[in-house]
Amino acid sequence: MRAGEWLLRAGAVLEPFAGREAGREARLMLGAASGWSAARVAVAREEGLAPEVLGRAEAMLERRLAREPLALILGEWGFFGRSFAVTRHTLVPRPDTETLVELALAEPFGRVIDLGTGSGAIAVTLLAERGAASGVATDLSAGALEVAGGNAARHGVAGRLAFVQADWWQGVEGRFDLIVSNPPYVSAAEYDRLAPEITRYEPRAALTPGGDGLSAYRAILAGVGLHLSPGGRVLVEIGAAQGEAVVALFAAAGLDAVVVHPDMTGKARVVSGRARAVV
Ligand code: GLN
């Protein structure tokens, strides 16, 4: 079979649930199955597929048709221009979360903590972008911390990033200029309406804290007094409808300059706040 034929067929079977991404997903699968670069895949229509390449591509397609996210099939996923290993122990890094990273990078910081780091996408990106910064990444999941540690090594920041297996602030010491988190924030009711790609394959604990979806913010903000440096910033990702509620929690925690920021699609996505300067 020629590459072009396979891409056409794979794109067509993926279309019903991958929608506009179907063609791109098919090309990514063929790239991973063949070892060809994206540029080669793009012009490979007439190239024949060796049986083992075809076998690998078909196996990937089959997993995808069982609704497994492409990121888990490929074992890695792009975030802020870098590739991160992902497994079933972590959330797949989402483009929405790049909004939080951009806001974090808009001001200088020395010490950063990422609470509930998952794949480490946020913490590793921040340290990779700011060579003088150092920090801590926490997660309750040992499996996630293993993935995050690998990603820190992959991007050359392992020497500047300490990992703590912790329930939010438990066991964390010291103060930070920047506190960031993409915590579980989906409410119990919303969780039941998420796509099967998400609920079947991504860790439930990374997506929903249960109830109203706000309890992780309460836990994070409870540590601000003890762990935020004077003038330091807190940035958290939120669900599109949570802006008002999270702003109220930030204000109640004594933070100043509390702002809701939209993501690239215009949805409320990040809340930021700042510690009052000492007087
Ligand atoms: N935005 C994610 C989703 O619903 C939720 C991520 C999170 O809870 N931190 O796909």
Can you give the residue ranges of every domain in the chain?
A: 3-66, 87-274
Closest protein CA for atom 10 of ligand 1: 198
The CB of 207 under 6 Å from ligand 1? The reply is yes
Give pLDDT tens digits for 108-148.
999 999 999 999 999 999 999 999 999 999 999 999 999 99
Closest approach atom of ligand 1 to CA 207: 8
Best probe residue, ligand 1, of 77, 122, 182, 186 (max atoms within 8 Å of C-beta): 186
Give pLDDT tens digits for 23-39.
999 999 999 999 999 99
Burial 219-254 (b: 16+ CB within 10 A, else e): bbbebbeebbbeebbbbbbbbeebbebbbebbeebe
The CB of 222 under 6 Å from ligand 1? The reply is no
pTM of the prediction? 0.94
Burial 194-205 (b: 16+ CB within 10 A, else e): eeebbbebbbee
Report how far apart, in Å, the C-alpha atoms of 95 and of each of 81, 100, 128 are.
Answer: 11, 10, 18
The domain 87-274 having CATH identifier 3.40.50.150: the answer here is yes
Query: Residue 131: enclosing H or E segment and its boundaries?
Result: none
Q: With cut-offs at 50, 70 and 90, classify the pLDDT of residue 270.
A: very high
Closest approach atom of ligand 1 to CA 184: 8
Q: With cut-offs at 50, 70 and 90, classify the pLDDT of residue 17.
A: confident
Give pLDDT tens digits for 170-196.
999 999 999 999 999 999 999 999 999
The CB of 163 under 6 Å from ligand 1? The reply is no
Closest protein CA for atom 9 of ligand 1: 184
- Whether 139 has a binding-site annotation, put simply, is yes
The CB of 181 under 6 Å from ligand 1? The reply is no
Closest approach atom of ligand 1 to CA 185: 8
The CB of 185 under 6 Å from ligand 1? The reply is yes
